[in-house]
Chain A
């Protein structure tokens, strides 16, 4: 049986409704009414995981809108995009959120940006727009210009779920926080110290990135992708580059692939190290916190030394990379990482050998495996809750299939587990970098493949990457002129924020910073 036949049999659809757009990327065209049943089938019978859900607007063409569900499949391996036309006049679309909670925010975002109300959604309220955004203005519709001035609506504040009872009250925090972090509003319902529930209000840093991509030359779009989340300025542009390369049918030279692996792992190293330090900071354990900060600074200085950029911006190109590692630089990198490894091991030992530290992190902020699975949590947070998934192994890209590494999984689901997943991933990353350096040494000089200025018209492709925080997908489509028509960016934070709300209740407010830090979700990547 061909893959298409296997897939159509599993889905219970006709083979002709399915096509393989590119390797490992399947498209199923269906009717809107069939979406919920298909979602159930993909999730339960095939073990598919929802990675993204979004709408597109074809402008004047009828049917005007489409809704797309992107699933990650393990067998057959690949991604399945289920797309259904939506009648714009009705202003509604079917919802799958009741059975698939990871669709919850996605569908509400579709409602906010396209004006398509998800029918039978358990909580169809705004997620992206704040309360002063007027009704009836849907900024990602094609007839709404990006520069449209939108007046503020005067009125009440956001209604939070009330708390009642003696000694029970609410604690509002944010959007401007006490530390150097991104803005978001947290509303704690507390009974003394213990948190009864947490509500999160985000999208303070919504910058209209997806709208901004529309009509951009792909060359310029890469820089916008670098600024989706500043701590992921390799991961996001790499997912973007993958999508453009798949659109244009371009293969990346082996040397560029090896360099991409090195860059992605260096990004993982400096972020994981910084996070471990920040977890120590949040429990006031200053010695390891300072050490981690110094280690992290040395890593970003190494980046600067090797590539001329501390945070690895400007290294990824569409079609390859913009940098190289000559033999002397490779030696410097190997030596640095050997020294780093020793100091990093010492750092982790210092933390987990300290009873004062483990007292604070063991059993704190538990996200159970069941909750992680049900909520469709992804990435490093999911792996700390016993969910064994990693695109680098499951949907390899840039030559990861040729590298030997394991995917660390912890069962605890607490702050300690999220710390240990990071520590063990650092160990793997170090080994991956060494292997990629070997690949690099034996590969031809070419660093970049030519990509045509003009992309194929009316086409689309999915790009994916397992960045340090988790899986990133960029889905890009072009219009009749081959210009970017829509970019759907999905940061792992968007899938994981709803889970934070489940990890906090039962803990005390002073533990919230360390729980939040152990998730370390991106506000900017979420809000875009």
Chain B
């Protein structure tokens, strides 16, 4: 007993004062579109289809990269013949819509040479981050206050996201100091923290869990699979896909798996304490 106390006193406080702003060696890939030639080598090697290269017409090509589906495997970084794809060090990426996680650029195809020349980065369809933030604020109308009760639902995950969600409760991240509590029942929850892909066999359970949570309720989709179906795809015999295929999602936290800081960040966005920053 005394030795336990002594050891604990010696250990002191392990909790990091500010877990945010950590830089990772391998964050999400970032395409420097000005160097990109729309050759589609990256789209070919992307295992989840996070990078799409399409030819809208003979004269126009588009290249888009969506963090919703990105598993940070870095195949595109290695596979780009122009070295136009780098690795960012940001880890705390989140958004309010799937579209906000995508970056799309268009290219003019020179009819004489067939070469693609960068034209511009396209504006994403759908609401902006500010508009989405205002809408979320409207949904919760300050009712969630300074504390947040979270029910985690594994709707088909590989358990990688669960490991990192569990890590947010460890002494180093200690999510309870932000007023965030993981609760045992959806009936106690303000937020459902859902990992995916939503499987056929979890779809009904997920819907029922959502139905059991009182209004106003916020849904946070976690991980590449929760945001988009990821490696497992959408609409297969076993995988329905991203959480938004089943429930209205308020916050997307991409990553494979997202780091504990990113998950904490997503929860604070769901509380309207932080504002989403995509890409």
Query: What residues of chain A have their CB less than 8 Å away from a CB belonging to chain B?
Result: 130, 139, 144, 146-150, 175-176, 178-183, 203-209, 211-212, 219-220, 223-224, 227-231, 233, 274, 287, 290-291, 293-294, 296-297, 300, 304, 308-311, 313-314, 346, 350, 522-524
Distance in angstroms from B91 CB to nearest chain A CB is: 10
Please give 19 more A-B residue pairs, beta carbons under 8 A apart, in addition to A208-B232, A230-B163, A297-B173. Answer: A176-B186, A176-B205, A180-B166, A181-B154, A181-B162, A183-B155, A204-B205, A207-B156, A207-B232, A227-B230, A230-B160, A290-B170, A290-B171, A291-B11, A293-B171, A296-B170, A310-B259, A314-B74, A350-B4
Please state if B7 and A205 are interface contacts (CB–CB under 8 Å): no
Please state if A205 and B209 are interface contacts (CB–CB under 8 Å): no
Distance in angstroms from B118 CB to nearest chain A CB is: 28
Distance in angstroms from B241 CB to nearest chain A CB is: 11
Complex partner residue of B26 from A212, A274, A314, CB under 8 angstroms: A314
What residues on A are CB-neighbors of B75 within 8 Å? 219
What residues on B are CB-neighbors of A228 within 8 Å? 158
B238 within 8 A of A: yes
What residues on B are CB-neighbors of A175 within 8 Å? 202, 205
Please state if A212 and B232 are interface contacts (CB–CB under 8 Å): yes
Please state if B235 and A346 are interface contacts (CB–CB under 8 Å): no
Distance, CA A227 to CA B71, complexed state (A): 10
> B1-22 toward A: CB 8 Å interface, digit per residue (1/0)?
0001001100100100000000
What residues on B are CB-neighbors of A130 within 8 Å? 201
Distance, CA A470 to CA B197, complexed state (A): 26
What residues on B are CB-neighbors of A308 within 8 Å? 24-26
Distance in angstroms from B172 CB to nearest chain A CB is: 5
Please state if B232 and A223 are interface contacts (CB–CB under 8 Å): no
Please state if B172 and A297 are interface contacts (CB–CB under 8 Å): yes
Query: What residues of chain B have their CB less than 8 Å away from a CB belonging to chain A?
Result: 4, 7-8, 11, 14, 24-26, 45, 47-48, 71-75, 151-167, 169-173, 182, 184-186, 197, 199-202, 205, 209, 225, 230-233, 235-239, 256-257, 259
Please state if A311 and B236 are interface contacts (CB–CB under 8 Å): no
**CB-nearest residue of chain A to B161:** A230
6 contacts between A and B (CB under 8 A): A176-B209, A180-B154, A208-B239, A211-B236, A230-B161, A293-B171
Please state if B71 and A206 are interface contacts (CB–CB under 8 Å): no
Please state if B186 and A205 are interface contacts (CB–CB under 8 Å): no
Q: Which of B11, B151, B162, B197 has the most CB of A within 10 A?
A: B162
Please state if A204 and B165 are interface contacts (CB–CB under 8 Å): no
Distance in angstroms from A187 CB to nearest chain B CB is: 15
Distance in angstroms from A105 CB to nearest chain B CB is: 16
Please state if B47 and A311 are interface contacts (CB–CB under 8 Å): no
Please state if A209 and B232 are interface contacts (CB–CB under 8 Å): yes
